[in-house]
Amino acid sequence: MLSPHYKLNKYESTQSTLSLDSCEYYQMEIFDQLPSIQASRPEQNKRGVLEACEDYQSGTEVEEKWSHGPLLKEPRRKRDKVSMQPLRNLAMCIQAKRDARDRRKMQISNIGFWESWRRSQSIARKRVWAQMGGALAGLLPWQHTLHAIEGRFGIGVKAYFVFLRYLIYLNLLHCALIWGFILGPTTFYGRSNSSEPLKFGANDSILDFFQGSGYLYRSPVFFGFYTRGSLNLPCLNTPLLYFAGILTILFLSLIMVTRRTIVGYKHTWLLGKRYSMNVSYKIFCGWDFTIQDSAAAVLKHSFIRNDLKLFLEEQSFSLREAERTLGQRMRLYLLRLVLNMLVLTLLSAAFCLIWFATGKSKDEHRHNWLVSLFLQYLPPITITFVNLFLPHVFHMILYFEDYSITTQVNTTLVRSIFLKLASLGIYLFFFITLAEHQKHECKENQFGREIYKLCIFNFLATFCSAFLLNYPRKLLQEKYPGSLLARLLGKQQFLIPLNVLDLVYSQTVTWVGVYYCPLLPLIGTVILMATFYIKKFTVLRCCTPEQRLFRASNSSVLFHFMLLLGLLMAAVILGFNLYQQEATPDNMSSCGPFRNSETVFNVTAVCVDSLPSLAQSTLRYLASEAFALPLILAEIIILTSYVSRGRANQKAIERLKEMLVMSSSDKRFLVKQHATMLRRKKNNLQRPL
């Protein structure tokens, strides 16, 4: 027979839903009157609870019976894991945490020395890991800058800079892979004996760094620099390492971008339209009482104010949308149809302009160096002009379509990313088509030069836009605020969709050109770091906070999805070029690692033939059509399991929401009953004897 003290220590834990008070509560008559019990709880669950409470009071083994009931299905291991959590992580009031601490002390005195030591060590490790995580988070670059930007301009602008920092990390990873697969072996094992030494010639000039010619054309920046060298094994040679490095970059980028897209989509789906901000919580519980710095207090004020502004803006649009009549909706849909036709017309005109500029840049007539430089940069100038002008037109069109602020951002992103990616794809298609009719010493280097010029001119456009347009405009507004030009220009705001599109376009150009220009990730990293400080200067010095904010979680998914589209576009272009080299012998490479009638497929076949017979059979089976059927079946099974889990989670979320609603109904009912009891007691005391 167990003692009452032991039973209390055994069953009274922080995670268990059973206690003596709860059992007495279940036996009260008011329990049957709760709205949640009357609405959803079956009679069998109620009988199970009463039987478990009787067993608890009589000292019998509750866990064996209770494990079959509907209210306690978690395994003992999970309960122990939760019971060892720090008290500050538990959703309890102060008095409940004190009681939980006392119960833990009583448990420790009965569980034994080794179990007590194990639990204390587990709690200590969690605290150490939490402190290390906080310390590492404080070491992230630009953390203070991001907090300052979030406080003044909201979380949407901060999401742009976080996205930019993520691209910097991604390009640094690409640089490490380029060094390990391509640049490192070339450095240690050298190039072929027929290769010319790299040195600065008499005809080289500073313009070569803008045109991608001369010294830069012969440097490790471009494809033609890399040759077989002394590393010439069947499965370990420069061509295979080169191709493996590019595939690794694209594959890891696909995994990382897809993961962030899926995680963001899951977060948006869980919140999404079901999200309802508790204004009372934001006002009364949103303050951080650990703040001691005045600057941090001002930032926290700004965070709360921006959240409330965003909530009020969304509620105002929802009310305005609900009050629309049928005639107003029909007129609005007709107006949106006309404006979308206008958008398609502008996109078609932009593509025709890019085609004309690409053909004009291939003019072989001799000109002086300035005209020649302008003609070489005519396609990048045209693409940059189109990408700068049309998104602003799209942004102005959205004001007439009457969308919510988040829908406006997403619509601008979709239209503009189609413009940017389509213009880049059309330009590259025109260039490849025209290059087939021209004889070049190294077509891969020519393609890499075009990508390099796109990357350089895009950065020059960002620099000039910040210091030659935005900053003078801000000075004009500060010194002459009443002038006609200052009033026409208006206050400058940081347009998040257009700036995000610039980042997506820049990263897409890097992925497209990494095969033809291996050091492009390093150039892209330097450009992105410079872009961070340029945009920081633009935001903090030249821009004013927007009057209308948007929820960053709803658009960050679209940011990464557009990045995923850019990556897929780069993979398609690379695959098309490699297939074209294999299908047409005239397009085979005459420079770089794949020279002397070598292609990616030939080098790979030589490596496979040198492997053991079992490995050859396995690889050929994986590359054959026979492997497609089990692969498709495995994908179907995995997708079915994930869909089933998603539906089950959705049902669980709906049930939890219903439980929250019924819990609030129970609280209101109990408060009403308590007020009634107090009123009756007061009347009884006031009644004369």
- pLDDT tens-digit readout, 90-147: 667 777 778 887 777 776 666 667 777 777 788 788 778 877 776 766 667 788 888 8
**Final residue before a domain boundary, out of 584, 600, 623:** 623
307/447 same-domain check: no
How big is the CA angle at 384 (ends 378 and 390), to the nearest 5 degrees? 125
| Residues 594, 599: Cα–Cα separation, whole Å | 6
Residue 399 placed within a domain: no
Q: Are residues 169 and 123 part of one domain?
A: no
Domain check: are 282 and 183 in the same one?
A: no
Mean pLDDT of 549-559: 61
> What b/e sequence results for 121-139 when a residue is b if at least 16 CB atoms lie within 10 Å of its CB, and e otherwise?
eeeeeeeeeeeeeeeeeee
Residue 194 lies in a domain: yes
Note the pLDDT of residue 532.
93
112 and 224 fall within a common domain? no
Q: Are residues 471 and 603 in the same domain?
A: yes
Q: Could you tell me if 269 and 281 lie in one domain?
A: no
Residue 116 lies in a domain: yes
Of 56-60, 336-340, 441-445, give the lowest mean pLDDT range. Answer: 56-60
589 lies in some domain: yes
pLDDT above 60: residue 70: no
Same domain membership, residue 549 and residue 606? yes
- Is residue 211 located within the same domain as residue 174? yes
- pTM, two decimals, is 0.71
Is position 535 within any domain? yes
Mean pLDDT within 48-68: 42
pLDDT score, position 5: 41
Same domain? For 479 and 593 the reply is yes
Report yes or no on 441 lying in a domain.
yes
Structural domain count, the chain: 4
pLDDT at 67 over 80: no
Q: Which domain holds residue 126?
A: 97-139
- On the question of pLDDT at 68 being above 60, the answer is no
**Do 572 and 641 reside in the same domain of the chain?**
no
Q: Considering Cα of 684, then 686, then 687, then 689, what sign does the dihedral take? A: positive
437-490, pLDDT tens digit by residue? 666 667 888 888 888 888 988 898 899 989 988 888 888 888 888 888 888 877
Q: What is the pLDDT of residue 672?
A: 85
What confidence tier does 9 reach under pLDDT thresholds 50, 70, 90? Answer: very low
**Alpha-carbon distance 366 to 374, whole Å?**
13
Of 297, 323, 349, the last residue of a domain is 323
pLDDT at 524: 92
| 198 and 281 housed in the same domain | no
pLDDT at 7 over 70: no
Co-location of 611 and 652 in the same domain:
no
CA distance 605 to 601: 6
pLDDT, tens only, 235-266: 888 888 888 999 999 999 999 988 888 876 66
- On whether the CB atoms of residues 277 and 307 are closer than 8 A, the answer is yes
In a domain, 77, yes or no: no
Q: Establish if 17 belongs to a structural domain.
A: no
CA 463 centroid distance within chain? 26
Lowest mean per-residue pLDDT among 340-344, 398-402, 461-465, 529-533 = 398-402
